[in-house]
Amino acid sequence: MPDLPDSSRPDRFDLSTYLKAQRAVLDQALNDFIRRHFSDSRLNAAMKYSLMASGKRLRPVLCLAAAETVGNINNNTTNNITNDVIQTACAIEMIHTYSLIHDDLPAMDDDDLRRGNPTCHIQFDEATAILAGDALLTLAFEILSRNASATAAPAEMKLKIMHLIAAAAGHKGMIEGQMRDIEAENTPLPLDALKHLHYLKTGALIEAAVVSGALLAGGDGKSIEQLRIYANHIGLAFQVTDDILNVEGDAELMGKATGTDASRHKATYPGLLGLEKSKAFASDLVNNALHALEIFGNKADSLAAIARYVITRNR
């Protein structure tokens, strides 16, 4: 696995440069894995097609940034901790990609575009897309369960992280959130129910990414608790912003259609609160997230900048 980029920064944090560097690390790690382990099969081609599409890589970048915030992994002489964090981040991106493949299917959101490209079932076919998603999900846990003797993290830590990620992605997390999202079509939800739906659908895996990175870098109980608070707030802010962009975003910039939430009568924040109140709600969530980072000082510059990016992005 490659080293993380140098975390030294100028006084004014340059998020664009930071994200570009972190995404390059992740793309290199993913490409290295694909080169070593993928064949020329149709299944592997579909997996690679979706995994290496141009995406934000938000969840794995958060995993790396959380590790930086609580640790000093760039100065680790063996790079074993760095390798563990990157490996975990890549596994989380595989889980996220699997969820997008399945969300886009005709039986779910029936989308034709994802990240500016034809969705997996359009580029290949529906059966291949289902299997590619299944394969990415199981591959993620194959990576997470690699022989602990080859890494810095002890077996107990790896098991804890696998449990954390599985719970976030499973029937009490992301999948349940997707089910509630489907059930909520044509059914208005009160704010608390909508917030919980989106914590399950989006926030749980974001929280798992942040906490996993912090655990691998040696974060203590107080650090982990503050990062959980941070992750919960930006996870919800991310979803609120997604809902806003679906109303007023640029489809070309976003790489997917807009207006789809309204046409499907989905439960959304603009639908419940209106656009302006939704924007204010997202801003309050980010401010709460930033407050949770205060104990880390400048070490949390990357996480703070990502929190602000969550509600200012255009895609």
Q: What is the pLDDT along the chain (315 residues), one digit of tens a residue?
A: 444 444 444 347 999 999 999 999 999 999 999 999 999 999 999 999 999 998 889 999 999 999 999 986 544 433 456 889 999 999 999 999 999 999 999 999 999 999 889 999 999 999 999 999 999 999 999 999 986 555 577 889 999 999 999 999 999 999 999 999 999 998 889 999 999 999 999 999 999 999 999 999 999 999 999 999 999 999 999 999 999 999 998 887 777 778 888 888 888 999 999 999 999 999 999 999 999 999 999 999 999 999 999 999 887
Cα distances from 130 to residues 105, 120, 134, 234, in angstroms, run: 8, 9, 6, 30
- Is residue 3 domain-resident? no
What's the per-residue H, E or C state across the chain? CCCCCCCCCCCCCCHHHHHHHHHHHHHHHHHHHHHHHCCCCHHHHHHHHHHCCCCCCHHHHHHHHHHHHHCCHHHCCCCHHHHHHHHHHHHHHHHHHHHHHHHCCCCCCCCCEECCEECHHHHCCHHHHHHHHHHHHHHHHHHHCCCHHHCCCCHHHHHHHHHHHHHHHCCCCHHHHHHHHHHCCCCCCCHHHHHHHHHHHHHHHHHHHHHHHHHHCCCCHHHHHHHHHHHHHHHHHHHHHHHHHHHHCCHHHHCCCCCHHHHCCCCCHHHHHCHHHHHHHHHHHHHHHHHHCHHHHHHHHHHHHHHHHHHHCCC
**What's the CA gap between 1 and 177, in Å, rounded?**
33
What confidence score (pLDDT) does residue 4 get? 44
- Is residue 268 domain-resident? yes
- Is residue 2 domain-resident? no
**What's the CA gap between 9 and 102, in Å, rounded?**
39
pTM of the model: 0.91
* Closest to 144 (Cα-Cα) out of 61, 78, 209: 209
Task: Give the angle subtended at the CA of 225 by the CAs of 313 and 94, to the nearest 5°.
Answer: 50
Please give the tally of structural domains in the chain: 1
* Closest to 10 (Cα-Cα) out of 313, 308, 301: 301
**What's the CA gap between 33 and 161, in Å, rounded?**
21
Torsions phi, psi for 54 (to 5 deg): -70, 105
Domain range for 240 is 15-312
- Is residue 40 domain-resident? yes
The amino acid at residue 42 is R
- Is residue 276 domain-resident? yes
What confidence score (pLDDT) does residue 24 get? 95
**What's the CA gap between 141 and 148, in Å, rounded?**
13
- Is residue 72 domain-resident? yes
Task: Give the angle subtended at the CA of 49 by the CAs of 25 and 45, to the nearest 5°.
Answer: 115
Tell me, what CATH number does 76's domain have? 1.10.600.10
**What's the CA gap between 79 and 123, in Å, rounded?**
38
Q: What token pair was written down for 140?
A: 């993620």
Task: Give the angle subtended at the CA of 137 by the CAs of 49 and 160, to the nearest 5°.
Answer: 135
Query: Within 10 A of 141 (CB to CB), how many other CB atoms are there?
Result: 15
Give yes or no for a contact between 57 and 204, defined as CB atoms under 8 angstroms apart.
Answer: no
- Is residue 8 domain-resident? no
- Is residue 157 domain-resident? yes
